[in-house]
Amino acid sequence: MVKGKKIILGISGSIAAYKAAHLTRLLVKAGAEVQVLMTRAATDFITPLTLSTLSKRPVLSDFHAEESWNNHVELGLWADVLVLAPLTATTLAKLASGLADNVLVATYLSARCPVFFAPAMDVDMWKHPSTQRNVQLLESYGNRLIPVGFGELASGLTGEGRMAEPEEIVALLNDFFSEGQPLAGKRALVTAGPTYEAIDPVRFIGNYSSGKMGVAIAERLAALGAQVDLILGPSSLNPVHPHIRLHRVRSAQEMYEASLAVFDQTDMAVLSAAVADYRPANPASEKIKKDKADMRIDLESTPDIAAALGARKKAGQVLVGFALETENELENARAKRQKKNLDFIVLNSLRDAGAGFHHDTNKITLVFEGNKTEEFQLKSKREVADDIVAALIRFV
Ligand code: C5P
């Protein structure tokens, strides 16, 4: 719970800044110590006097004032959590790019504690690819998004972009602090993304996997305290988290070798990568010329990482695989679970709208021993990762 926790509340210049007063009051009432930081624009919306009275501490807003100058480093070490609420598009962009021209961004860069951010802006600003990219960047740094709400906005428009309600933010922080770190001291292996199998130096056989599902799982495991080795095939994602060690690989063979190198030291492994089943048997060392009317490529099997780890698995190790199916889904998933010696398998069917490679959402069914299944609704991949990790924790 937030009682006794040291919380930095960073407020930037949105009309939702008025909600920060209520948030401060709720946190102080719940027994937290709250240090408020404001951007200069935020002080146009709500006075520092209001917030210093509610937080019972001086508010820092002027970067060049003597008391603020060095405080960002000290504060970054002092806090148990940094909450950015409301977070404007401008400050979000500064955080994403590390542009530390005010005390709030400088503290963000110095902070070693978990960071939560609650954006607030007009619907079109929120939907703009630039904003969405910056949100993704912050998430890839391990920061946690407090989702925006839907409804009436200060502009008069209706849509997404409202800052989460202060009560929701307090509930989320309470969950965060009471959840603790159930996986502290545990090691996890996660494979994610596609593999590329070379045909020649410039061509490959690959697939559409983005790596999003596996990266979300790795981040969830890390947030719960596990040390994670994330073995990621070619993917544009770049997860950064103090508990995640990233190993970038290309081919199934490289993924296999990287996985075997760490598996014996791990307590759990989640194999979400879409590994190629076949690779060109004799990749050409020079670019293949277009001098024949047709051509054939001989393929050979790649190593099955899941099966290899299943065969090596010792008592106490938990192994989870994925099955992406287009027909006879449950039957195929059950057979795969058994054949690869997995503790459970995550089934997603391409027949379900919103599931699979091209989406930010997924719809899964977990298949356990003895044909036991657990079915879930369509959710964001981040929420699906939470469900998978919750099931995994029952085995650890
Ligand atoms: O047999 P299939 O490829 O459908 O099985 C999917 C599961 O096996 C996934 O967990 C996937 O990561 C894993 N797999 C693997 N190595 C392979 C092929 C699949 O680890 N070569």
Structure tokens at 81: 């959590």
Amino acid identity, position 217 = I
Ligand 1 pocket check for 194: Cβ under 6 Å: no
Percent of the chain with pLDDT over 70: 96
Q: Which atom of ligand 1 is nearest to the CA of 277?
A: 21
Q: Which atom of ligand 1 is nearest to the CA of 321?
A: 10
220 φ, ψ to 5°? -65, -45
Q: Which residues 6+ apart lie within 8 Å of 184 measured at CB?
A: 225, 226
pLDDT tens-place string over residues 339-370:
999 999 999 977 777 777 777 888 999 999 99
> What whole-number distance in Å separates Cα of residue 251 and Cα of residue 231?
11
Residue 251 burial (10 A CB sphere; 0-12, 13-18, 19+): buried
Ligand 1 pocket check for 273: Cβ under 6 Å: yes
Ligand 1 pocket check for 276: Cβ under 6 Å: no
Q: What is the pLDDT of the chain when averaged over all its residues? A: 92
Which residue has its alpha carbon closest to ligand 1 atom 17? 304
Q: Going by DSSP bridges, is the β-strand pair 187-192/227-232 parallel, antiparallel, or unpaired?
A: parallel
Q: Which atom of ligand 1 is nearest to the CA of 322?
A: 10
Q: How far is the CA of 303 from the centre of ligand 1 (A)?
A: 9
Q: How far is the CA of 344 from the centre of ligand 1 (A)?
A: 13
Ligand 1 pocket check for 224: Cβ under 6 Å: no
pLDDT of residue 222: 87
Q: How far is the CA of 239 from the centre of ligand 1 (A)?
A: 22
Q: How far is the CA of 307 from the centre of ligand 1 (A)?
A: 8
Q: Taking CA 257 as the corner, what is the angle to CA 255 and CA 260, rounded to the nearest 5 degrees?
A: 105
Beta bridge partner(s), residue 191: 231, 271
Domain annotation for the chain: domains and CATH numbers: 6-178 (3.40.50.1950), 187-393 (3.40.50.10300)
Nearest CA to 219 out of 260, 171, 272, 263 is that of 272
Which residue of the set 207, 282, 348, 371 is catalytic?
207
SS3 (DSSP) at 360: coil
pLDDT tens-place string over residues 169-188:
997 888 788 766 789 889 99
Ligand 1 pocket check for 267: Cβ under 6 Å: no
Known active-site residue 207: yes
Q: How many CA atoms lie within 13 A of 216 on its CB side?
A: 20
Nearest CA to 229 out of 241, 217, 215, 244 is that of 244
> What whole-number distance in Å separates Cα of residue 137 and Cα of residue 239?
9
pLDDT tens-place string over residues 185-225:
899 999 999 999 999 999 999 999 999 999 999 989 988 88
Q: Which atom of ligand 1 is nearest to the CA of 342?
A: 10
| String of DSSP letters for 47-80 | -HHHHHHHHTSPPB--TTSHHHHTHHHHHHHH-S
The two counts, helices (H) then strands (E), for the chain are 15, 21
Ligand 1 pocket check for 37: Cβ under 6 Å: no
Ligand 1 pocket check for 342: Cβ under 6 Å: no
- Confidence category of residue 242, pLDDT binned at 50, 70, 90: low
Phi/psi region, residue 185 (left: phi>0; alpha: psi -120 to 50; beta: rest), is left
Q: Which residues 6+ apart lie within 8 Å of 318 measured at CB?
A: 267, 268, 269, 343, 392, 395, 396
> What whole-number distance in Å separates Cα of residue 67 and Cα of residue 14?
25
Q: The pTM is what?
A: 0.65
> What whole-number distance in Å separates Cα of residue 97 and Cα of residue 73?
19
